[in-house]
């Protein structure tokens, strides 16, 4: 039996009751979006489901560490509980549960060659915890502390990892109303929503729309010739090294985010957030998602890079405003 926190929380965001206005998504064939300065309110969304009640409390963004270091745990977060969850390949996925006692658990997914300890994962988890919402951040197989080998691409395998996590939480009598992913994790949560239709809310942070792009920057202009000749390419960028096999490259080239997004249920609400100064994935990718996902809202963060290095507060604010419109808080 879980116990709820008893201390009151002071928020630096707008009073959460202001979030209960009607929401309207831009039409799926519209390019409408807005620059997202801080602080600001999310504009309206369309939702087939009734608005869900939220607790009228405040969250202290000032207590979050808003830097880009992966080693600095937020000062406001309580000690999370480490969990090991087997995936469909009998590999242990290692994650951290930020327990508040809420029935709902928001699942957070990291990006390429990253981990559950990415600053975005930690800051969003800490913000959720301060709001009384449980969060689970974990390492995909072959990443961080999780078992398994690292594979380039591997989008569908990671979507299956996410499936194992959600099923495990469901077996614990928990509900996962929202999945969030950053960068490659943004593509993974969208792929998940296209395959498994029990998820009604998805947050895509700086995901890539066209997976054929961004390969030459990592593998070189002649990557196709080299991988056909030797069957693999070894990459060493000074920070990490890994091997790209022909099979994993073909998996990436064969993953069509356009087709996947067309399979997402119209009742599933999708929030995409992207920075104008993203040096890894252009903001134009975010606008493409806005064109094809019918129940979609696009928020652009002016000046933000791919890691939201100097814009963690803006990012957390935007994410929390969305989350607090759809989470039922059983406090």
pLDDT of residue 242: 87
- Average pLDDT by consecutive 10-residue portion of the chain (331 residues)? 40 35 39 38 42 36 40 54 96 98 96 95 97 97 94 94 98 97 98 95 98 90 90 84 91 96 96 97 97 96 97 97 76 40
pLDDT of residue 327: 76
Domain with CATH 3.40.50.1820 in the chain: 81-210+257-325
Please state the three-class secondary structure of the chain as a single string.
CCCCCCCCCCCCCCCHHHHHCCCCCCCCCCCCCEECCCCCCCCCCCCCCCCCCCCCCCCCHHHCCCCCCCCCCCCCCCCCEEEEEECCCCCEEEEEEECCCCCEEEEEECCCCCCCCCHHHHHHHHHHHHCCCEEEEECCCCCCCCCCCCCCCCHHHHHHHHHHHHHHHHHCCCECCCEEEECHHHHHHHHHHHHCCCCCEEEEECCCCCCCCCHHHHHCCCHHHHHHHHCEEEEECCCCEEEEEHHHHHHHHCCCHHHHHHCCCCCCEEEEEEECCCCCCCHHHHHHHHHHCCCEEEEEECCCCCCCCCCHHHHHHHHHHHHCCCCCCCC
Four-way CATH pick for 81-210+257-325: 3.40.50.1820, 3.40.250.10, 3.40.50.1970, 3.10.150.10? 3.40.50.1820
pLDDT of residue 81: 96
pLDDT of residue 328: 52
pLDDT of residue 78: 66
């Amino acid at each position: 039996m879980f116990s709820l926190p008893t201390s009151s929380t002071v928020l630096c965001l707008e009073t959460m009751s202001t979030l209960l206005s009607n929401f309207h998504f831009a039409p799926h064939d519209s390019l409408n979006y807005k620059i997202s300065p801080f602080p600001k309110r999310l504009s309206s969304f369309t939702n087939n489901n009734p608005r869900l009640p939220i607790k009228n409390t405040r969250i202290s963004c000032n207590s979050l560490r808003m830097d880009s270091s992966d080693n600095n745990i937020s000062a406001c977060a309580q000690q999370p509980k480490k969990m090991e969850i087997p995936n469909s390949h009998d590999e242990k996925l290692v994650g951290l549960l930020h327990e508040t006692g809420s029935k709902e658990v928001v699942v957070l997914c990291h990006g390429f060659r990253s981990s559950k300890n990415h600053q975005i994962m930690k800051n969003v988890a800490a913000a959720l915890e301060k709001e009384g919402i449980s969060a689970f951040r974990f390492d995909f197989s072959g990443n961080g502390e999780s078992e398994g080998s690292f594979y380039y691409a591997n989008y569908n395998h990671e979507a299956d990892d996410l499936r194992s996590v959600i099923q495990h939480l469901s077996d614990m009598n928990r509900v996962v109303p929202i999945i969030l992913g950053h960068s490659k994790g943004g593509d993974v949560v969208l792929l998940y929503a296209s395959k498994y239709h029990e998820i009604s809310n998805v947050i895509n942070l700086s995901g890539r729309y066209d997976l054929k792009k961004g390969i030459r920057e990592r593998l070189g202009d002649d990557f196709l010739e080299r991988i056909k000749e030797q069957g693999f390419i070894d990459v060493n960028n000074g920070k990490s090294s890994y091997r790209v096999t022909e099979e994993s490259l073909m998996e990436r080239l064969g993953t069509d985010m356009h087709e996947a997004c067309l399979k997402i249920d119209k009742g599933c609400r999708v929030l995409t957030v992207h920075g104008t100064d993203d040096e890894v994935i252009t903001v134009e990718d975010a606008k493409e998602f806005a064109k094809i996902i019918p129940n979609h809202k696009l928020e652009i963060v002016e000046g933000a890079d791919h890691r939201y290095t100097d814009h963690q507060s803006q990012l957390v604010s935007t994410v929390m405003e969305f989350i607090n419109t759809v989470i039922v808080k059983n406090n």
